[in-house]
Structure 1
Amino acid sequence: MSVFLPLVEGSADGALLQALARIGPIIVPASQASSVQLSQRTSRYVLCDQDVSSNLDAIVSLLDQGAEKVILPLAYAKEAIGIIPADRLLLLLDVGNVSAVSDKIRNGVSGVLIKTPALDVDFVASVSRFFAHAAVHVLPAVSDAPPSPSTIRGLLAAQAVLVLPTPLLTLGASSQSQINVADAFLAPVSSDRPDGLFPTVVSSYNEGGRTLGLAYSSAESVKESIVTGKGVYQSRKHGLWRKGETSGATQDVVSIRLDCDSDSLEISVVQHGAGFCHLNRSSCFGEREIRGLAALEKTLRSRLESAPEGSYTSRLFHDPDLLRAKIMEEADELCRAETKEEVAFEAADLFYFALTRCVAAGVSIADIEQSLDRKAKKVTRRAGNAKPQWVNAPPAKENAQVPTPAPRAQKAQVDPDAPIRMRTFDLSVTSAEQRAQLLRRPVLKYAEMLQKVKPIVDDVRIRGDAALLELTAKFDRAQLTATVIRPPFAPETMQLDPDVRAAIDVAYANVYKFHAAQAEQTPLAVETMPGVVCSRFARPIARVGLYVPGGTAILPSTALMLGIPAQVAGCKEIVIATPPRQDGSISPEVMYVAQLVGASAILKAGGAQAVAALAYGTETVPKVDKIFGPGNQWVTAAKMLVQNDTDALVAIDMPAGPSEVLVIADRTCNPAFVAADLLSQAEHGVDSQVVLVAVDLSDEELSAIEAELDAQAHALPRVDIVRESIAKSNIVRVRTTEQAINFSNDYAPEHLILHLEDASAAVSLIENAGSVFVGPYSPESCGDYASGTNHTLPTNGYARQFSGVNTLSFQKHITSQEVTADGLRGLGPVVATLADCEGLQAHANAVRVRLRAL
């Protein structure tokens, strides 16, 4: 966090500017932007004068040259909003024109710099509330005396940051005319330790922020670090500790930051010598922390100094043509990689040779990151087109030592024996942004889908059966003369294998029993006050439409899960819609279930056309009041479209997305069971969402699950679907069961399976899930088919707001009230008073006319 922002005025001393750069951004007037000497990694804001403020090209140029933000007066900021990104723009205001700031301007900037004649903390606090989501900076108009530390603290408490002109700052002792930089920086810092020291996390700037260790700081050590730019700490035993003073393992301080509570510090350093740790290791937390690109850079630097003569690495360092050829070769192979594994493999090779080139030129990963950061700050973007020699050009010939590859096929053949693997992430090293990404489902572009289904829905709404027959022929490839079947259903349409019939009967009995128990048996009646009885009672939704998909699998189970609660609730009309087979028939399993649940009609249609027919009705299809059931994105988009059409007057059960499962497994799990549960969801479709949250599993334990998943997947008839869905699925490694459940609650899965040592105890901690499967012998399949619970569940994170389908989904509740004469004597005056308060005299009169009669 920034404690204060320095504003360069006049010819600021170079040592002062270097010290200020270590503790945060520096404000530089545009007129001095080219003359003030700051390092490339110094964060700077540019205060634009009138000449620059009126020139948008000049402002963009400042940002392109590395300015973190530009500060513009109100008159010119209005023109820049929408052109300059909001996070790069600060608004310069006088106290008098704060009220002239519109919502558009507030939303178009990331903060304000207010010039004020005096530091009135209450006024500043009110300004901070007005700019609730923007940073507030305060510049006193009179700046001939430095503020006290208490003033700085007061402004920070008011959610504002003081701007201090550099003439008021010094690296020497604080006086009446200047305040020491460290005194200003430490103004809000407090310690809850008896010795008054501040815990200090030391991190490596050039190793991606890797933690080197924990130290302690004092006001004296922080002052010296800011002034000298060297790592200085406070030893609890030996006093001031200048890192590397005797060992030579010195540190260059890059930045010093306070935490959000102002009671601890983070110092980012470039470490020299053996390392930070007293055991001559780079980190107190062990060398294993160095991995990936940082480890590769360290290895290459070592080999640059000591690679044996004639070794391959030595050849790369000393033969520019060979290194150039390898970089071009690996870049080409990366472009040609198909699978996830191939891309990772080829990218690793390219990184190796590219980083070798960088190390040979004295370029570090930190230098590369700085370049990336500078490019990210550019507002002006190039078109990004490739140079002519790389557009549709063959690879370089042998004189560049890059082989010419053979022409490539349109699509590489998938190796049927290739491992089927999930992606793995470790939550302990995952940033907040990466964690949020893990919680996201694929973006479903419903706006586009709504435009695609609207013509289909409108066609059925306008032309009825004629459109329905044509669309069924087009999409389901079935030539029909009629779209609706009504009972009694012909016995020959329900011919089943005896075992399948028996299984459906058991499933029907279990699901019926559980859903019958959910039905309300008696009305609710409450006497709210003497003589006033309020009641609530349930009534079935009269006409319901049940959509049973028929895409990549026959789903009689869905007909059971939707039909039984409708039957239990007492719905008068139950219309089942399902796509016909190409011969125009319906699967006998679905026909048999339709008879069991008492369906009043079967609509032989699928997709958006079936939803439209149910919503509006046709000459032969009954109009329904509510539509239930899963489906593809066409079905989902059509359901969302019709529920918002007042002409349809139809409700839907819930929004729907691809089917999903999240499995939580600890060390007590059976790897075969876990793999089977993941695959049972993955086979639904290529867009199925599958997540394994691994609780403190070792690499060996996780490998056992992956090996089982691969072996079982290759044995499945739907292996091609599984291969595609598993490749997009995630393993999330966590340390504790609590972390796993927190992640699951944030994810809000459709199905949650608990492979935990005490799975039953964990159920009380579940807040968001469609249905929970507890323990090793509760596979999702049981809930999908026959345990009794419903398998029509909220997906896409909607388990936060929606329940799965249940008996109450097919009912609505009506309230009633009965007020006696005595009850009205007590309640009537209250009602009349409230009606008068709202200016609704007829409401009040309806009560008073009765009271007068009494």
Structure 2
Amino acid sequence: MFIPSFDVTDPSQSALKTTIGYLGSVILENANIDTIKSLIQETGSTLYWAKADNVDQAVQLWDAGVYKVIFSVDTYSTAIANDNLNGIPEERIAVQGSLNSLSHLTQQQQPSSFILEAPVGDALTTEAVHQFAKTVRTQLLAEGGERRVIVNGGSDSLVTLDAIAKLNAVNLDVVVSAAHLTAEEEEQGKINVGQAYLASAKTDRADGLFTTMVVDERNTALGLVYSSVKSVAESLKTGQGVYQSRNRGLWYKGATSGATQSLVRIDYDCDGDALRFIVKQHGTGFCHLNTRTCFGADTGLGALQTTLQSRKENAPAGSYTARLFNDAKLLRAKIMEEAEELCDATEKDEVAWEAADLIYFALTKCVSSGVSLEDIEKNLDKKARKVTRRPGNAKPKWSEQSEKKEEEPKKAAVQEEEQPKKEEGRIEMMTYDINDISAEKRSELLLRPIIDSSEIINRVTPIMKDVRERGDAALVDLTAKFDRVQLDCPTLKAPFDEKLMQLDPETKVAIDQAYDNIFKFHDAQMDRDTLTVETMPGVVCTRFARPIERVGLYVPGGTAVLPSTTLMLGIPAKVAGCSEIVIATPPRPDGSVVPEVLYVAHKVGASHVLLAGGAQAVAAMAYGTQTVPKVDKICGPGNQYVTAAKMVAQNDTSCLVSIDMPAGPSEVLVIADKTSNPAYTASDLLSQAEHGVDSQVVLVAVDLSDDELRAIEDQVHIQATRLPRVDIVRQSIPKSYTLKVKTLDEAVAFSNDYAPEHLILHNDNPEDLLPKIMHAGSVFVGPYSPESCGDYASGTNHTLPTYGYSRMYSGVNTLTFVKHITSQQLTADGLNRLGDTVMRLAEIEGLEAHRNAVAIRVADIRK
């Protein structure tokens, strides 16, 4: 290919400044630092090359935004000898000299580009030049990419299209002065820029067209088109997206639709047989379907930017986004708030969540100021060109705050040693009195945090689509991406290797006892008898249960070990008689399954264990892959991505899969009166508070004095400070609350309205309250029935409805894994007795075929 050189002091070349800028690499002649900065500001390009007489000047050029600095051989060799180029990437350096001087550079000293000072004719005919170019091209850059040898015969050297093509054939690029180029179709003594650019390109198409990928400034593919020498020349001349239609000739994109394109840059692919047009897309988008791309609508940051830009112009009055655009103080406060929350986040999902929030508000700030993602990326490119770096220290007001945060726990530790009785910040719940709050406040206390699932669904949908289309390959890739585990095969198939489920005797006994209790309780739930009812003489109706044949059980994993969830899901599926049980659980860092989980999978008769988590695991079970059987129902708890994926799968009619229930954060409501044990009550509250920072914990205190309530609060603080997960409790407990009521009836009424996942009764004669409990996932009755027993081994199931869904959902049970079929059988006498009723109702509804199916039989009976 050719590289244009541009003399910034030659007025006759200024007309080509924009045109050759579209080609990417341009060698600047007679340019100083100020000129270069001005040119970069004007064109936005950071791909310029410029010459430097020494390393200090080179550093100034790089920091100004120059992509590649050109040294003489002597200057470069001296800089290498003095270690003055340490840390400078080799792709940022070119060296210019004679063949002899360039050939003497050692392999360790080689730059990315060699500019050979030689007449074009000599370069075409000298075998030594060809061999040098071939050798250089085979030595790839350390960070990837090809080294180049470029022939520069000087500004007076005339280069032809034929010479450009022939030089390219022997691995040589060539410098062409802008003085010898033109954007016009023909100009005496000059060659067209577009023709020169495509002189090195290749195509195997019979029509001579070049396959062209059109992308936006952020490299998002907009669509696939074709180019010709004429269309490329026209595009470079006009600065627009111009392509070659195979039917209509030159195609000026957007000429009729208004969805025009401003050209940013043109380049080849690595083989020189495909072009890439980088454009700024205007209007509704590239596609004739009025989408931004021919591959569907934007997602991610691009979609967010489009939405915010639209909202800036047309946000509904009173909307939150409109408020952000109109209230600079609010927007500033939200950016600061989200930045702090991101800094404080530790878990992977939490960091991703908080980063997304911060990006939303930061991009809102940008859009409000007319700044686009493309503007941000241009600035990132400019900063990446710099080779000198600031120390990177935070400003004093931030570094002092950070130091203070670090010092506080250290100081507290010292104080704890010196004054053991002195407490840190007290861990306690908010307190309300039912007699002092309004009806509105009572309703507010019943609410859980609002979850906007639309964003999460947008994130899990492409993951599920990938698994559906690529199967196991997608599972392997996604597990490597999200879990950082490289798997050869994403599934284990029964029978499982006994070596993978070796347990210590104590653990095995504990699991076996839990298994027996859970099995016994769930076996008793099985509906094995056929229900038979004779609704009238000669009319017998029946209902009988049949197992759901194929079920998928999601067992959360990561750093946790959850055999309990495997038991709670696998046992009722086994009791129900499901013929295929697939268990999905994330792999451990070494790619294995938690042995406790695999042992339970073996006991419940699972056919497969899928080593995957998140949306990809749900998709694999919902759609099936090469090694994962498709299931009919998916059950089990998980994070917000798992929940969203289950909902997406259930709503996909082509998938034909059901789920157990929606899910939210874990929650408990404890009713405690004067007979309650403060330590027991506090321990039950904390058993849920440690699940996560969003856990929902409620204490309904029945006629407790201040001292009695204080005793519970003291126990909450004391026990919490001893927990390994105290950092989580410090966040969940202050968001939780105590509600003071006078009577048990008031307590039960509030509990029924709240509809908790877990309800714990710490009151006198607690079993007497059970008939009044209308809504709860599971109830724990009395001081010796901690919620932990239900979680692990008493026999009831711990997969329960949260978020108030206990109003209409049951927890997982044996009937979760069966469906009921009804039948009816009528005798002739029965049909005779019922026939007139059926025929009349069919007539009313206008369904004659229904009426006729009875009529022809009744007619025979009544003959």
Matches for 1:269-418 after TM superposition, within 5 Å: 407-409=400-402, 412-413=405-406, 415=409, 417-418=424-425
Question: Which residue pairs with 2:618 in the alignment?
Answer: 611
Q: Which residue of 2 aligns with 1:572?
A: 579
Aligned counterpart, 1:790: 797
| Distance in 1 separating the partners of 2:771 and 2:476 | 50
Alignment of 1:676-691 (within 5 A): 676-691=683-698
> Which whole-Å deviations, capped at 9, do the CAs of 1:314-347 have from their partners, x for residues lacking one?
xxxxxxxxxxxxxxxxxxxxx9xx99xxxxxxxx
Q: CA deviation at 1:405?
A: 12
Structure 2 match to 1:369: none
CA distance in 2, matches of 1:669, 1:640: 40
1:784 Cα deviation from its structure 2 partner: 0.5
Look up the match of 1:544: 551
RMSD: 2.5
Letter in 1 for 2:585: T
Q: Say whether 1:837 aligns with 2:830.
A: no
2:512 maps to what in 1? 505
Out of 735, 748, 762, which is 1:741 matched to?
Answer: 748
> How far has the Cα of 1:475 moved from its partner?
0.9
The corresponding residue for 1:719 is 726
| Distance across 2 between alignment mates of 1:820 and 1:840 | 24
In structure 1, distance between residues paired with 2:740 and 2:851:
64
Aligned pairs, how many? 463
Q: What CA distance in whole angstroms lies between the structure 2 residues aligned with 1:524 and 1:456?
A: 44
User: What is the distance in 1 between the residues matched to 2:481 and 2:685?
Assistant: 35
Whether 2:638 is the aligned partner of 1:631: answer yes
* Equivalent residue number for residue 501 of structure 2: 494
Aligned residue type for 2:770: V
User: Match of 1:813?
Assistant: 820
Contact 2:558 2:588 in 1 (8 A): no
Q: Does 1:587 align with 2:594?
A: yes
The offset of 1:826, in angstroms, is: 1.1
Give the alignment of 1:74-89 within 5 angstroms.
Answer: none
Matched residue, 1:428: 435
Q: Kindly indicate whether residue 772 of structure 2 is the aligned counterpart of residue 779 of structure 1.
A: no
* Matched residue SS, 2:427: coil
What amino acid is the match of 2:405?
A: A
Aligned to 2:453: 446
In the alignment, the residues of structure 1 paired with residue 695 and residue 473 of structure 2 have an alpha-carbon distance, to the nearest angstrom, of 35
Quickly say closer, same or farther: Cα 1:525–1:410, change in 2 above 3 A.
farther
Kept after mapping to 1: 8 A contact 2:528/2:545: no
Q: What TM-score do you get using the length of structure 2 for normalisation?
A: 0.52
CA distance in 2, matches of 1:580, 1:411: 39
Hey, what's the Cα distance between the residues in 1 that align with 2:762 and 2:400?
A: 49
Pick aligned residue for 2:809 from 802, 808, 813: 802
Amino acid of the residue matched to residue 494 of structure 2? Answer: P
How far the C-alpha of 1:669 sits from its partner, in A, is 0.9
Deviations 1:486-512 (A, max 9, x none): 111111111112111101111100110
Secondary structure (helix, strand or coil) at the match of 2:769 reads: helix
Partner SS for 2:435 = helix
Residue by residue over 1:609-662, the C-alpha shift from the partner in whole angstroms, topping out at 9 and shown as x without a partner, is: 000111000111100000000000000000011100001100000000011111
Query: For residue 858 of structure 2, what is the aligned residue in structure 1?
Result: 851
1:739-795 deviation per Cα after TM superposition (whole angstroms, max 9, x unaligned): 111111111000000000121111111111000000000000111111111111000
Counterpart CA distance in 2 for 1:500 and 1:847 is 64
**Deviation, structure 1 residue 847:** 1.1
Q: Is structure 2 residue 519 aligned with structure 1 residue 526?
A: no
Tell me by how many angstroms 1:412 deviates: 3.1
Counterpart code for 1:716: L
Q: Does 1:672 align with 2:679?
A: yes
Mapped to 2, the partners of 1:512 and 1:773 lie a distance apart of 19
Letter of the 2:547 counterpart: P
Shift of the alpha carbon at 1:710? 1.2
Deviation at residue 409 of structure 1 after TM alignment: 2.7
Cα separation, 1, equivalents of 2:591 and 2:398: 51
TM-score (normalised: structure 1):
0.52
- Structure 1 stretch displaced more, 625-634 or 685-694: 685-694
Structure 2 match to 1:183:
none
Taking a change above 3 Å as real, the CA distance of residues 793 and 582 of structure 1, as seen in their structure-2 partners, is same
User: Residue 681 of structure 1 aligns to a residue in which SS?
Assistant: helix
How far apart in 2 are the matches of 1:580 and 1:84? Answer: 47
Structure 1's 575 and 411: CA in aligned 2 closer, same or farther, altered over 3 A? farther
**SS in structure 1 opposite 2:692?**
coil
Q: Which residue of 1 aligns with 2:561?
A: 554
Residue 667 of structure 2 contacts residue 802 of structure 2 at CA under 8 Å; is this kept in 1? yes
The question of whether the paired residues in 1 share the 8 Å contact of 2:569 and 2:636 is answered with yes
Q: CA, structure 1 residues 410+626, in 2 after alignment: closer, same or farther (shift >3 Å)?
A: farther
Structure 1 residue 851: Cα displacement = 2.0
1:828 positional shift: 1.6
Q: State the AA in 2 paired with 1:546.
A: L
Counterpart residue type for residue 657 of structure 1: G
Q: CA deviation at 1:538?
A: 0.4
CA shift, 1:84, in A, is 10
- Structure 2 CA distance for partners of 1:406 and 1:641, relative to 1, 3 Å: closer
How far the C-alpha of 1:697 sits from its partner, in A, is 1.3
CA distance in 2, matches of 1:562, 1:536: 25
Using the TM superposition, give the Cα deviation of residue 421 of structure 1 relative to its aligned residue in structure 2, in angstroms: 1.6
Which letter does structure 2 place at the counterpart of 1:567? K
Alignment-derived partner of residue 179 in structure 2: none
Which amino acid is 1:821 matched to? A
Give the direction of change, closer, same or farther, for the CA distance of 1:702–1:406 in structure 2 (3 Å limit): same
Code of the residue aligned with 1:548 in structure 2: it is V
Superposition deviation, residue 410 in structure 1: 8.3
The whole-number CA distance in structure 2 between the counterparts of 1:84 and 1:466 is 47
Distance 1:521 1:469 in 2: 41
Residues 813 and 410 of structure 1, relative CA distance in 2, 3 Å threshold: farther
CA distance in structure 2 between the partners assigned to 1:722 and 1:502 by the alignment: 31
In the alignment, the residues of structure 1 paired with residue 615 and residue 574 of structure 2 have an alpha-carbon distance, to the nearest angstrom, of 25
- Correspondence 1:464 to 2:457: no
1:198-236: CA deviation from partner (whole Å, max 9, x where unpaired)? xxxxxxxxxxxxxxxxxxxxxxxxxxxxxxxxxxxxxxx
- Provide the C-alpha distance between the structure 1 equivalents of 2:398 and 2:851, rounded to a whole number of angstroms: 88
- C-alpha contact (below 8 Å) 2:558/2:587 kept by paired residues: no
Q: Secondary structure at the match of 1:662?
A: strand
Q: Tell me, yes or no, if structure 1 residue 654 matches structure 2 residue 647.
A: no
CA distance in 2, matches of 1:411, 1:531: 85
Q: Distance in 2 between matches of 1:612 and 1:84?
A: 39
Give the Cα–Cα distance (whole angstroms) in 2 for the partners of residues 717 and 731 of structure 1. 24
Task: Please give the secondary structure, in 2, of the residue aligned with 1:716.
Answer: coil
Structure 1 residues 737, 576: CA separation in 2 closer, same or farther (over 3 Å shift)? same
